[in-house]
Amino acid sequence: MAVRAARLKRLGAVTAAVAVALAAGACGSGDSGDASSDGTVTLEFAQWWAPELPEGSFDKLIADFTAQNPNIKVKLLSAPYASTKQQLVTGAASRTLPDVVGLDGAWVNDFAKQGAIADLTPLMREANYDASQLASQVQVNGKTYMIPVVNFVYPLFVNQDLLSKAGVSAVPSTRSEFLDAAKKISATGGNVKGWALPLDTAVPNGVQNDVMSWLWASGGSMLADGKPNLTSAPVKSTIEFIKSLNDAGVIVPGSLTMKEQDKVEKFTTGQVGMVIDSLAHINLIKKNNPDLKFTVAALPAEDGYTGQRGMPYASWGIGIANSSKHKAEAFKLVQFLLSQQTNAQLSTLANGFPGNKTAVPDFSQSDPLFKTAFDIYSQGYPANEFVGLPKSEDLMRSFAEQLQLVLTGKQSVDDALARSQEAWSSQM
């Protein structure tokens, strides 16, 4: 036994020695973003934008930046949205975020609370940056942590062929017109339905884009003084409206596990007459079904509502890591991407709307529907109350579950809203 123990001890010693050597080696090689001897600074920039843009176009923009700032080099860390998110969640935890990070409004609160991303307000002050040109800023406790660079709005997509087949002459503009049109479209038979409601809980953004959007379109709010206010009359009327669509049988079946891509797919194949969808999908829809005749419109509002209509949006936001040693240089990159000229270029490439109010995207080469959407956007306002909320995905999920209970007849609207209010209050 003693011999065995001694052997084990020796084995342990050897393993430990090797592990220490390896760990020391790993520590030595993990450093990045440092200034080199000639004073050149290398910034790391993690985002999911480059893979979504025409190939090579984002690198070209960044090359323009490095040409203007010869002492700054930019290393792009490009990955799809979901991988970027997971990378940043772990990077935020281990304080190893890249210097500049692409952000979604939904992540900001959590990252800011962890102290992983920097307050941009002092950086703007130091750089004498005029923040009034920004279309919006995402703040937590009055401090700006993210600036939206490009915004993607979610208008109402309408299949004009189905609408005219159903005998509806105009695109619905109020909730009752929408219900009526949806009923008539569903009555045309086959598998065709009036509206699609993706409520899958794996990626529960349907609550933001397809449910709460109705509330914002009528100028309503799900918050009061930053606290949840789900039992208010406007929220109740929104959920009752969605229930009325469900009761009328105009929603595509299977909505409890439907995902966003299913919604786009069904609209593209003409199985659903109207959906609320990202403008970014126009090109995809046209590519997959060039013959589909459709238009975009502002979301229908409550009958009699005359105010400005909110339109849900998602952003490519930008922020700076708190752990970055080169915040001033990083802010130069932020400034560059939000400058009038670059921001207009980037918005044009991305088919989105600029984060700089003075930038005007060039629609001459793009689909005329983008121009229509830009006009609707200019008349209303971008609305997304989930931006900046803590654990926003989880808030959406718990709301989706309560709404599912309503749609399956297991719960009343009042109970669902009261339960959601309770769940949200405890989280926020």
Partner 1 sequence: MTSAHVDHPMLAPEAAPPALQPVTPRRARPAAVARRLVPYAYLSPTALLIAVLMVVPIVMVISYSFRDNVIVQENPVFVGFANYTRVLTDPEFLTALKNTFVFITVSTVAHLVLGLAFAMMLNTPLLSGVTKAIFRIVYILPWLFTIAVIAVIWRLLLDPAGVVNYVLGTLGLIHDGVNWFGDPGKALWVLTFVNIWSGYPFFMISLLAALQGIPADLYEAAAVDGANPVQRFLSVTLPQLRPVIVSMAVLDLIWTSQQFALIWMTTGGGPLNATEMLSTYTYKQAFSEYEFATASASAVIVLLLTMILAFFYVRQQRER
- Footprint of partner 1 (CB under 8 A): 10-11, 13-15, 17-19, 21-22, 25, 29, 86, 89, 93, 110, 113-115, 191, 199-203, 252-258, 262, 271, 391, 393-394, 397, 401, 404-405, 408, 410
By C-beta, is 66 or 411 nearer to partner 1?
411
Compute the half-sphere exposure of residue 51: CA atoms within 13 Å on the CB side of its CA. 12
Least distance from C-beta 160 to partner 1, angstroms?
21
By C-beta, is 239 or 296 nearer to partner 1?
239
By C-beta, is 71 or 86 nearer to partner 1?
86
Report the candidate in 53, 49, 52, 55 with the shortest Cα–Cα distance to residue 77. 49
Close Cβ partners of 11 (under 8 Å, ≥ 6 residues apart): none
By C-beta, is 288 or 408 nearer to partner 1?
408
Residue pointed to by tokens 């004009």: 160
Say how far apart CA 271 and CA 282 lie, in whole Å: 17
By C-beta, is 193 or 309 nearer to partner 1?
193
Say how far apart CA 331 and CA 320 lie, in whole Å: 7
Least distance from C-beta 397 to partner 1, angstroms?
6
Least distance from C-beta 108 to partner 1, angstroms?
13
By C-beta, is 30 or 56 nearer to partner 1?
30
Least distance from C-beta 206 to partner 1, angstroms?
11
Residue 293 CA, chain-centre distance (Å), reads: 27
Say how far apart CA 163 and CA 274 lie, in whole Å: 9
Least distance from C-beta 119 to partner 1, angstroms?
17
Q: 143 has which bridge partners? A: 140
By C-beta, is 21 or 131 nearer to partner 1?
21
Least distance from C-beta 304 to partner 1, angstroms?
35
Whole-angstrom Cα Rg for the chain: 25
Least distance from C-beta 400 to partner 1, angstroms?
8
**Amino acid present at 416:** A
Least distance from C-beta 199 to partner 1, angstroms?
8
Least distance from C-beta 23 to partner 1, angstroms?
9
What the block records as the tokens of 116 is: 């992983």
Task: Quickly count: other Cβ atoms within 10 Å of residue 228's Cβ.
Answer: 24
Q: What is the DSSP string of 146-164?
A: EEEEEEEE--EEEEHHHHH
Q: What is the DSSP letter of 393?
A: H
- Per the rule left: phi > 0, alpha: psi between -120 and 50, beta: everything else, 355 is alpha
Least distance from C-beta 427 to partner 1, angstroms?
8
* Range list of H helices, 269-326: 282-288
Report the candidate in 146, 44, 102, 134 with the shortest Cα–Cα distance to residue 343. 134
By C-beta, is 232 or 322 nearer to partner 1?
322
Report the candidate in 355, 374, 234 with the shortest Cα–Cα distance to residue 298. 374
Report the candidate in 318, 320, 323 with the shortest Cα–Cα distance to residue 34. 323
What the block records as the tokens of 308 is: 């400005």
By C-beta, is 128 or 426 nearer to partner 1?
426
* Phi, psi dihedral angles at 130 (to 5 degrees): -90, 100
